Amino acid sequence: NFERLLEEPISSCVARITSNVQNSVNKKLKKRKNLTAAEDLSIKVEFISSDGVLSMENQLRTILDSNGVVLYVEPHAYNLDINPPIVRSLNLPSPAMIGLSLYPKKLELEFACLPLCKFNWYCSKKPVKNTSVDVTHMEWEYVASGYLLLLQASWLGHIIRLECIPVGENREGVPFYAYSSGPITAGPGKCPFDSRHAFCHDLSDARSFRMVCYNILANLYADSDFSRTTLFPTCPQYALSMDYRIQLILKEILGYKADLICMQEVDVGVFKQDLYPVLQLNGYQGVLSQKMHSTKGSINEGVACFYRASKFSLVEMHTLSLQEELKSNPNLRSLWDRVCCDPGLKAEVESRTTVLQVCVLTSVKNSDRRVVVGGTHLYFHPLGDAIRLVQAAVCLHLLQEIYQKQLKNGADTSLIFSGDFNSTPDTDVFDLVTQPDALQFVSLKQKEPTYCISDLPLENELLLSSACGTPEYTNYTTGFSGCLDYMFYTRDKLEVEQVVPLPSHEEVTQHGALPSVVIPSDHLALVADFNFLNQ
C-alpha cells in the first residue's frame, strides 16, 4: 500500500492510508462489539513539510523535493526517511565448516554501496546441541569484521551471526542480521589444493603473471539424480551440492594468488552471488560469457574471466557465439561452405551453444603491454571430435583476428587460449592448436567416422604451446579419465616460469573419483606462471 507511483496525487495516497487505518481499527472495534464507535471513526492524515501541509493536489514526487517531511496519522507523527540504505536480502553459505570461510550470500542492497558497507561477525558464547535454536535469546561475542570470516576450530558447535550495516552516501541504514543455518561443523580437513598453495606463496612480479584455468562443474549439471547415481556415484550427496563445493572452490582459487583466472561451467547465479562479490573484494574484476542457443537465447552457465585489478585493466571483451560467427564471418566462409556439404555435421554445429570469450587486457604498469585472453568450453560428447575440430578452428581464427588487430595498433601483445577442450592430446583438436603449419588439415584420428571432414580448410597462424604439457589426466571420474584442459600460450611472446604440480594420483583417488569431499570439481585446476619475453 505504500508502493505508490511518484506521479500519483497526494490525495490518493492519503485516501489509501486513511482507508487502511480505518479498516484495521474497525476490525478491532467490531470484535469488541463497539459498532457505533466503528461507524463514527474519523482519522486525519496529512503530509507536513517545514513549510506547512503539502497540498492534496500535489504529486507524491513533491515529497522528495521537500525538507523534513512528516507523515501525520492522528495522533501520531512519523518522520520520513527518503531512500535510506537498505539490505533487502542476505543469508550465509551452508553448511558452515571449520577451515572454510563464510561470506554474505544473496546480498541485495538498495541505496547502498557494497564497498562502503560494514560487516561485523559474532559467535555465540555457548555451543548449541541442535539446529532448532532461538537465536534471539543468545549471547554473542564479537570475533571479526570484513567480508570473509574464516571459521576457527574453537567455534565447533557454535552459531555465527553476521551484522551488515548498509552504507550509502554519507549515511548508514538499519543493520540487518543473518545467521548460520546451524552449528559450525567439522570441515573436510586438509585438501589437495592446500599443498598446491605452497607453490603460490608470493604474488607474481611485474615481469610475469600467474594464471589459473579451472572447470568448476556447474550446478546445472551436478544437481540431478543422473549425476548423483551415474556420473559421480562416489561423491556423497552433500559434497556434490554447490553450497558445499563453492566454499572449497573459493578457498582453492584465492589460495593460488593468481593474476588471471579463467573458469568454465560457471552458473550465472554462482557468478553473481559467490564468485564476483568475493573475488571483487579480494582485488579482482571479472566478466561472464553465457553460452548461447541460436533460438532459445542465453544458457544459465558459461565461461568467466577474472583479473587482478592491480595488475591488469580490461580494454575490451567479446562474447562470440561460435555457430553464429561460423555462419556470418566472411573470413570463415570456406569453412562454413565445407561444413554445409555434410547435412549431419551442419545440423550438429548449428545446434551447439559454445561461445568464445575474449578479453583484451592491458598491463597497469605498462600500457603498451597487452594480453589477449581467450576462454572456451568445447562440445562434450565423446563422439563429437569433428564438431570440436570445427569449433577449435573457429576459435583460432577469431583469436587471430583480435590478436592481429592489437599488434597492428603497436601494442606488445601476447595471447593465452585456455579452457576445457574436451579433447585429449591424441586428437585433431590438439594437433590443430599446436601445429602452426596445418593449412589444409587432414583429419585421420576420429574415434567414430560419423562425418566426412577429410578436406576441411583449417588454419592456425598462432605459435601456441601447452603451458602445463599433457598430464595423464585433468578430468577424473568413474567413467573416464584424461587430459581435457589446457592453457595454450604464444611461445614467441611468453615463457613458462613455473607449473604448479597437479595433485598426486593417491590424492585424487583417495575418495574414489572426482568430485569428492576434498576436491570440488571433476576437473583439476591448471596453474602456471608466465614471463613476458620482451621486458
Q: Using pLDDT thresholds of 50, 70 and 90, give the confidence band for residue 439.
A: very low
In one letter, which amino acid is 227?
A: S
194: cell is 592446500
| Confidence label for 137 from pLDDT (cuts 50, 70 and 90) | confident
Annotation says 420 is catalytic: yes
Distances (CA, A) of 140 to 120, 145, 158, 517: 12, 14, 10, 31
Cβ proximity of 268 and 301 under 8 Å? yes
Grade residue 36 by pLDDT with cuts at 50, 70 and 90: low
Query: Angle between the 343-351 and 385-408 helix axes, to the nearest 10 degrees?
Result: 60
Q: For position 35, what pLDDT does the model report?
A: 58
Buried b (16+ CB within 10 A) or exposed e, 294-321: eeeeeeebbbbbbbbeebbebeeeebbb
Least confident of 168-172, 398-402, 499-503: 168-172
Q: How many residues does the chain have?
A: 535
Helix axes 333-340, 385-408, angle to 10 degrees: 170
**pLDDT one-digit tens code per residue, 319-343:** 999 999 999 999 999 999 999 998 9
Say whether pLDDT at 232 is over 70.
Answer: yes
Q: Which domains does the chain have, with CATH numbers?
A: 10-79 (no CATH), 86-179 (2.60.40), 192-532 (3.60.10.10)
- Examine residue 84 and say whether the peptide bond preceding it is cis (omega within 30 degrees of 0): no
CB atoms within 10 A of CB 43: 13
SS3 at position 204: coil
DSSP assignment of 335-389 equals: HHHHHHTSHHHHHHHHH---EEEEEEEEESS-TTEEEEEEEEE----TT-HHHHH
Closest CA to 155 of 143, 166, 167: 143
184 pLDDT tier (thresholds 50, 70, 90)? very high
Give the other-Cβ count within 10 Å of 481's Cβ: 18
**Neighbouring residues of 209: CB distance < 8 A, sequence distance ≥ 6:** 259, 260, 311, 312, 371, 529, 530
Report angle CA 66, 70, 76 to the nearest 5 degrees: 170
Q: Which residues contact 367 (CB under 8 A, 6 or more apart)?
A: none
Catalytic residue among 420, 428, 431, 529: 420
What stretches of 43-185 show up as alpha helix (H) in DSSP? 61-64
Task: Give tens-digit pLDDT for 276-294.
Answer: 999 999 999 999 999 998 8
Higher pLDDT, 346 or 64: 346
- The amino acid at residue 444 is L
Q: What is the mean pLDDT of residues 22-46?
A: 74
List pLDDT tens digits, range 342-397. 899 999 999 999 999 999 999 999 999 999 999 999 999 998 999 999 999 999 99
Distance CA 394, CA 408 (A): 21
**Sign of the Cα pseudo-torsion (121, 126, 129, 130, in order):** negative
Grid coordinates belonging to 232: 559421480
